[in-house]
Structure 1
Amino acid sequence: MGRRATIRDVARRAGVSKSTVSLVLQDSPLVRDSTRAQVEAAMAELDYVYNRAAAGLRGAAKGLVGLVINDLRNPFFTEFAASAQMGFAERGFATVIANTDEDPVLQAQVIDSMIEHGVSAIVISPAYGDATGFDRIARAAIPCMQVLRRVDPRTELFPFASLDYGEGGRLATRHLVEAGARNIAFVGGLEDRPITLERMAGYADVMAAEGRAPRVFPGRPSRGFGRELALELARAHPEIDAAVCFSDLVALGMLSGFAEAGVALGETFRLVGFDDIEECSLVFPQLSSVRCDTARFGRDAAATLLDWIDTGRRPPDSRRLPVELVARRSSLGVTR
């Protein structure tokens, strides 16, 4: 007796992914009629029989969601991933989480693997660079949201959700102006990256409105870069008396560097980070930061995607959640 046909055989015959065949078997409305006909023709040719009992055992949870993150070493992205995963779990969905380490080639491989294993949808904070992984998702006809970074411009296919980074930069810079800072720098972030430009935009707006020349020091968003730059500013740029940092990691590195150089934060130099990770409230002096409420954003992203899965209603092409400034000792100085 010949070998029984599998979903993989059907996918190969129809020229589609395994996950697309699974969606056809589940009568998903996400599959185009022409693709459905193609898959059904392949099943007929192969005498394929769907074993629903076995499929039920494989999928005891309601479904499987892929969560692709560009850098899980960064606490900001870790908190987002954990919050989104909990949001999915509360609705009975299991989550496959992958770290791409800012590598678009690895990202494409991860996407292929997730589709092969039958995820119902994908949330991706993408690596910059080659975006061919999104073409694979489009062919699989599964919902996909871009979060925090917009790499593929086709937001009608891959809706984008993020935070109002421009407003965050404005809030931080205005706060420093009102605190009495005269020469404010923007520190960190890789040049020409959209995320850097977004966070810098609000800073540039306030500086222009105040008639002040911007001072920008780009670099890796890391503690190491922040520490080295703080030492450089203390040595070679005593006229700069405040900074808005691209991220809290940069700001925490600057905090360490200024301590090493004997610079009093909040007095001689005022500092504001970006993201408000937990460590900001635990270091000394406590670090002022733009709070993005990453946990809330993660839960919101999960709820939005699940609504798309359940109802078929695609989210808006683009939307941004609000941010707020949390002022602490690094910019306020000693409170009396």
Structure 2
Amino acid sequence: MKKRPTILDVARHAGVSKSTVSLVLQNSPLVRETTRRQVEASMAALNYVYNRAAANLRGAGTGLVGLIINDLRNPFFTEFAASAQMAFSRRGFATAIANTNEDPEIQAQTIDSMIEHGVSALLISPAYGGDASSFDRIERAGIPTMQVLRMVDERTDVFPFASLDYATGGRLATRHLVELGCRNIAFVGGLEDRPITLERMAGYREIMEAEGLETRYFSGRPSRAFGREMARTLKRDHGDIEAAICFSDLVAMGMLFGFAEIGVELGKDFRIVGFDDIEECSLVFPQLSSVRCDTARFGETSAETMLRWIEEGAHPPAIRRYPVELVARHSSLGVPLRRT
């Protein structure tokens, strides 16, 4: 990515000192008119854009990082954003956090606004849809930008991508249920043909096909409401299905509530494994088995990677995936008998 021109670049081009350029930017009467025109010509030649907000932040000894998240109402993304923000804060960087609500138009507006406010870098968990124009504008602005959790721009040499090893998570969850004796296992939730859905389903398909078992997929918005409705649907229309891997813990939580309402005992009558291992998984009853993505650590690591890029010029690898693990709890193992 082409680096944005700095005051030093303008000074060298114009053959003046950095302080002279600063005086021109401040409209100081101390600068001669011929020098002012010379500096302004260099600014135009280099396509230098002065951002007063960014300059004020630099003067205060801090920088501003834009953190753009597709759905902050989802606890998974909230935990990621909070962890990243704290990591930036520990290094003296302020963070502007925005929720795009899965809307590419809002995302485009947010990106434009953050560019205008002179952010030092962008960390984006992008919404699907829209065109490449927003990322094109980022590239022209020369702002270091990393995609996390979702990849919508394939130019990973320019916009590196970091995520979690979702395919392995699907394999771990499916293998776990197969080893418990389950044969009819469904994958529930996630919007059809979305890359993130396909990633999480990949390991499930691999294990099911290796075992000679039928794959069954029920698509839907990854929400508690969808999960609750799916519990009723599976019980009513698909009585042979004995276990489910859920696209997310929100879907799994909804299924847990739905099965409780109709008297299905999880871990005995039906087995569930969620995805993400948000905090609620260990607090609900029965406790929810889930693929742990260690979201807090991933948020910190993403911020640290971004900081090395900003401060040291260490460009992140084009694509990197971090490990996951399965945490087995009552929803798949069954509730242990209470001691009397």
Structure 2 residue aligned with 1:171:
172
1:61·1:94 contact (CA, 8 Å) conserved in 2?
A: no
CA distance in 1, matches of 2:304, 2:322: 14
Match for residue 252 of structure 2?
A: 251
Q: TM-score, normalised to structure 2's length?
A: 0.85
Other-structure match for 1:277: 278
RMSD across aligned C-alpha pairs, in angstroms?
A: 2.3
* 1:312 and 2:313 matched: yes
1:110 alignment partner in structure 2: 110
- Displacement of 1:256: 0.6
Partner of 2:97: 97
Describe how 1:1-336 pairs up with structure 2 within 5 A. 20=4, 23-25=5-7, 41-43=41-43, 55=55, 59-130=59-130, 131-335=132-336
In the alignment, is the contact (CA less than 8 A) between 1:111 and 1:133 conserved in 2?
yes
CA–CA distance in structure 1, aligned partners of residues 59 and 220 of structure 2: 45
The alpha carbon displacement at 1:40 in A equals: 6.4
Q: Deviations over 1:184-239 (max 9, x none)?
A: 00000000000000000000000001000101101100000000010011111111
- How many residues align? The count is 303
TM value normalised by structure 1: 0.86
Letter in 1 for 2:259: F
| In 2: Cα distance, 1:317 partner to 1:200 partner | 23
Shift of 1:57: 6.6
Shift of 1:300: 0.3
Separation in 2, partners of 1:258, 1:283: 14
CA–CA distance in 1 between the matches of 2:96 and 2:161? 20
- How high is the sequence identity, in percent, across the aligned residues? 74
- Partner AA of 1:112 in structure 2: D
Q: How far off is 1:26 after superposition? A: 6.0
Question: In the aligned structure 2, how far is the partner of 1:152 from the partner of 1:40?
Answer: 35
Which runs of no fewer than 5 residues in structure 1 stay unpaired? 1-18, 29-38
Between the aligned partners of 1:51 and 1:138, the Cα distance in structure 2 is 17
Query: What is the CA distance between 1:335 and its match in structure 2?
Result: 2.9
Instruction: Provide, for residues 147-203 of structure 1, a one-character-per-residue CA deviation record: whole Å limited to 9, x for no partner.
Output: 000000000000000000000000000000111112000000000000000000000
The whole-number CA distance in structure 2 between the counterparts of 1:51 and 1:214 is: 54
Deviations, residues 34-66 of structure 1 (Å, cap 9, x unaligned): xxxxx9635389xx9x899x9457641421100
**2:13 matched residue in structure 1:** none
Moved over 6 A (4+): none
Shift in CA distance, 235/63, structure 1 to aligned 2, threshold 3 Å: same
Question: Is contact 2:57-2:63 (8 Å) kept?
Answer: no
Change (3 A) 1:41 1:161: same
Distance (Å, rounded) in 2 between the aligned partners of 1:303 and 1:293: 16
**In structure 2, distance between residues paired with 1:312 and 1:57:** 20
Distance in 2 between the 1:311 and 1:160 partners? Answer: 19
Does the CA-based 8 Å contact 2:51-2:117 persist in structure 1?
Answer: no
Instruction: Answer whether contact 1:67 1:81 (CA < 8 A) is retained.
Output: yes
Output the CA distance in 2 between the equivalents of 1:51 and 1:209.
57
SS of the residue corresponding to residue 162 of structure 2 reads: strand
1:108-139 Cα distance to aligned partner (Å, 9 max, x none)? 11011101111000000000011321111001
1:266–1:43 distance in 2 versus 1, CA, 3 Å: same
Once the two structures are TM-superposed, the CA of residue 24 in structure 1 deviates from its matched residue by: 1.3
The gaps in structure 2 that reach 5 residues or longer are 11-38
Q: Is the Cα contact below 8 Å between 1:146 and 1:159 reproduced in 2? A: yes
Letter of the 1:150 counterpart: M
